[in-house]
């Protein structure tokens, strides 16, 4: 079974600065998918960014980018120019390859999350 | 209404009660999911439905009973729950079960079992 570890229960950053959230995972699969989800206080969880393991290029979405190190099984999230609206719980998640053929595990495997605080 | 909605948002029930959680998605998706979010624990996948058929049950106790009458609606029927079942229950949907598909989450139902 896959596991996802987020070693930072809480992180704090000054507004406009850059912060990196760490995530490591354990898997024996060679192809898989990785995600970062954001859960603001009392609001719905939304997708921040995703990465396909077979793609070497790191995914970017505006101020959000990842550092994907497949050999190290590491998938960190970098937030540049932090804004107050970035304050939230951030969850790293893993998903096994396509399951339409009936094999593999379904759904997402999540880490415990990192609580990101933005200091004004 | 847009996205994924869940009702009720908060529920307090006794251990002998029977209640149901409802999830509705307005996105035209074919796959729906129930997750359990407990304090200090990772989100746990409970059930997956694809085209109204259950495709996974992650060893969830039988006191939780899902129902998917159509591709837009998902229910979680609860009976004789335990206090440790208190948690935030999240519903999600995706276009299909394809692994790269984004899952869209509802706001959750905060369940307290007394």
Based on DSSP, count helices (H) and strands (E) in chain A, helices before strands. 0, 12
Which residue in the block uniquely carries the two structure tokens 């304090």?
A: B39
Q: Mind listing the pLDDT tens digit for each residue in A3-45?
A: 999 999 999 999 999 999 999 999 888 889 999 999 998 889 9
Q: What percent of chain B has pLDDT over 70?
A: 96
Using a CB-CB cut-off of 8 Å, the residues of chain A touching B4 are: 44
A102, pLDDT greater than 90: no
Instruction: Output Rg (C-alpha) for chain B, integer angstroms.
Output: 13
Considering only the beta carbons, identify the residue of A37, A47, A95 that sits closest to B99.
A95
Dihedral (Cα; A78, A35, B3, B53), 10-degree rounding: -170
B97 vs A26: CA distance, rounded Å: 22
Mean pLDDT of chain B: 91
A55 vs chain B: nearest CA distance in angstroms?
Answer: 13
The alpha carbon of residue A41 and the mean position of all alpha carbons in its chain are separated, in whole angstroms, by 18
State the average pLDDT over residues A48-65. 94
Q: Is the alpha carbon torsion for B96, A109, B70, B11 positive or negative? A: negative
**pLDDT attached to residue A106:** 67
Considering only the beta carbons, identify the residue of B41, B43, B105 that sits closest to A44.
B105
Which residue in the block uniquely carries the two structure tokens 């790293």?
A: A92
The answer to whether residue A36 neighbours chain B at the CB level (below 8 Å) is no
The answer to whether residue A108 neighbours chain B at the CB level (below 8 Å) is yes
Number of other CB atoms surrounding residue B15 within 10 Å: 13
Using a CB-CB cut-off of 8 Å, the residues of chain A touching B56 are: 105-107
Residue A101's pLDDT band, with cuts at 50, 70 and 90, is: very low
State the average pLDDT over residues A72-83. 97
Q: Mind listing the pLDDT tens digit for each residue in B9-57?
A: 999 998 888 999 999 999 999 999 999 999 878 899 999 998 878 877 6
Residue A99's pLDDT band, with cuts at 50, 70 and 90, is: low
State the average pLDDT over residues B78-98. 92
B84 vs A41: CA distance, rounded Å: 23
Nearest C-alpha neighbor of A88 from the set A22, A50, A23, A44: A44
CB pairs under 8 A between A and B: 59
Using a CB-CB cut-off of 8 Å, the residues of chain A touching B99 are: 32-33, 95-99
Q: What is the DSSP string of B35-50?
A: EEE-TTS--EEEEEEE
**pLDDT attached to residue A98:** 59
Residue A80 sits at the vertex; the CA angle it makes with A120 and A119, to the nearest 5 degrees, is 15
B114 vs A113: CA distance, rounded Å: 27
What is the pairing mode between strands B87-94 and B31-37?
antiparallel
By C-alpha distance, the chain B residue nearest A34 is: B100
B98, pLDDT greater than 80: no
**pLDDT attached to residue B52:** 78
Which residue in the block uniquely carries the two structure tokens 């276009």?
A: B95
Residue A104's pLDDT band, with cuts at 50, 70 and 90, is: very low
The answer to whether A52 touches A97, Cβ cutoff 8 Å, is: no
**pLDDT attached to residue B10:** 96
């Amino acid at each position: 079974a896959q596991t996802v570890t987020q070693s930072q229960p809480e992180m704090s950053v000054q507004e406009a600065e850059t912060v990196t959230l760490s995530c490591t995972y354990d898997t024996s699969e060679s192809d898989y998918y990785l995600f970062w989800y954001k859960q603001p206080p009392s609001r719905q969880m939304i997708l921040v960014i995703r990465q396909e393991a077979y793609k070497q290029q790191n995914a970017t979405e505006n101020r959000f980018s990842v550092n994907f190190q497949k050999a190290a099984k590491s998938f960190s999230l970098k937030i540049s120019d932090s804004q107050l609206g970035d304050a939230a719980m951030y969850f790293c998640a893993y998903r096994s390859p396509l399951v339409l053929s009936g094999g593999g595990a379904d759904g997402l495997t999540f880490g415990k999350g990192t609580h990101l605080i933005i200091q004004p | 209404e847009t996205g994924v909605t869940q009702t009720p948002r908060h529920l307090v029930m006794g251990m002998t009660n029977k209640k149901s959680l409802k999830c509705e998605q307005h996105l035209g998706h074919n796959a729906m999911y129930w997750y359990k979010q407990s304090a200090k624990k990772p989100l746990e996948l409970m059930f997956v439905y694809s085209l109204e058929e259950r495709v996974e049950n992650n060893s969830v106790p039988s006191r939780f009973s899902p129902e998917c009458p159509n591709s837009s609606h998902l229910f979680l029927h609860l009976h004789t729950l335990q206090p440790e079942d208190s948690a935030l229950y999240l519903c999600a949907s995706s276009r299909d079960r394809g692994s790269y598909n984004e899952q869209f989450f509802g706001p959750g139902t905060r369940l307290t079992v007394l």
